[in-house]
Amino acid sequence: MLASAATRLLRHYDAHARALPWRAPPGAPPADPYRVWLSEVMLQQTTVATVVPRFERFVARWPTIEALAGAADAEVLSEWAGLGYYARARNLIACAREVAAMGGFPSTEAELRCLPGLGAYTAAAIAAIAFGERAAVIDTNVERVVARLAGIDRPVADSRGAIRASVEAMVPADRPGDFAQAMMDLGATICRPKRPACLACPLREECAAFASGDPEAFPAPKAKRARPHRHGIAWWVERDGAVWLVRRPDKGLLGGMAALPGPEWGDLPPAGPVLASVAWGFTHFTLDLHLVARAEVPQGEGWWQPLATIGEAGLPSLYARAVEAMEARRLAA
């Protein structure tokens, strides 16, 4: 059953594969490992629609792993601004330099796992898609597809062993990269979390979730945990049409990124007047960032960024939103 499902899925992929700038067409020789690696890193926690233009701009600027390895950290971090999860950018730089020093990407899942920032999923994806290794590529889309196919009604976190065993049994020997991408496409475009398009699915005839009449019930949702809430202060220091920016410490949240200066985030809002506030959600907590006027320049390194070119500063989305809030306040005054 699993082998026949893989055959039908590949036939469907040949006819309906998404055209993406990092992909080789179905049945074609594998794509450039650099482009596969870069796309997989960018796609972590980020939608395809967001990644496509950013990927194209990135490879236009650094078309090879050697070009990226030779780039300055600040340039790469600035280019990454807005994609979020900035530890990925720091790992990207470290990985590029290590791969360039090695003379190219290793070709096996086990060797790829040793590179900075490459976890089980990313290493398997590169091994299968770029090098044709029979690796089990399992992301959240694939987990959902397999849980529905097998009728697993427990939360994914409680079922990963069974899901992995099913995927490993399905992966064909001759087109593992196309199979991996076909599973991703199926989960992203047909076997969606809500309102799955079951009638368009090539696997519906043997799908337990479809047979149940309620495919959205599979897998069971995980219990949601309340996220703690924090408050942060961003000092707004403005002179002659420019604002004072700093670079955050290399380690930690938003590490190495351009930012408005301010103390560490805590549990209490500021006691004094606030110019504007921005609500933001991180993976593990929510934040209210409060902008507070400050006359003197904070100690430490930084630079004056003209507000007319603030879009070129490489601010992450949180601080870009804070600047927008200040602009809105200015316009409303």
DSSP codes joined into one string, 99-165: HHHHTS--SSHHHHTTSTT--HHHHHHHHHHHH--------HHHHHHHHHHHT--S-GGGTHHHHHH
Q: Which of 40, 79, 133, 143 is catalytic?
A: 40
Q: Which domains, ranges and CATH numbers included, belong to the chain?
A: 2-217 (1.10.340.30), 229-332 (3.90.79.10)
Encoded amino acid at 221, one letter: P
Residues across the chain: 333
Annotation marks residue 79 as catalytic? no
pLDDT tens across 8-50, in order? 999 999 999 999 999 999 989 999 999 999 999 999 989 999 9
pLDDT above 80 (res 223): no
pLDDT above 70 (res 234): yes
Strand partners, 239: 242
pLDDT band at 251 (very low <50, low <70, confident <90, very high): confident
User: Mean of the per-residue pLDDT values for the chain?
Assistant: 94
Instruction: List the alpha helices (DSSP H) in 151-231.
Output: 160-170, 176-185, 208-212
Encoded amino acid at 28, one letter: A
Pick from 45, 94, 48: nearest CA to 68: 94
Q: How many CA atoms lie within 13 A of 5 on its CB side?
A: 20
- Residue 1: per-residue pLDDT: 54
What is the Cα–Cα distance from 157 to 164, expressed in whole angstroms?
12
pLDDT tens across 105-146, in order? 999 999 999 999 999 999 999 999 999 999 999 999 999 999
Encoded tokens for 47: 């939608």
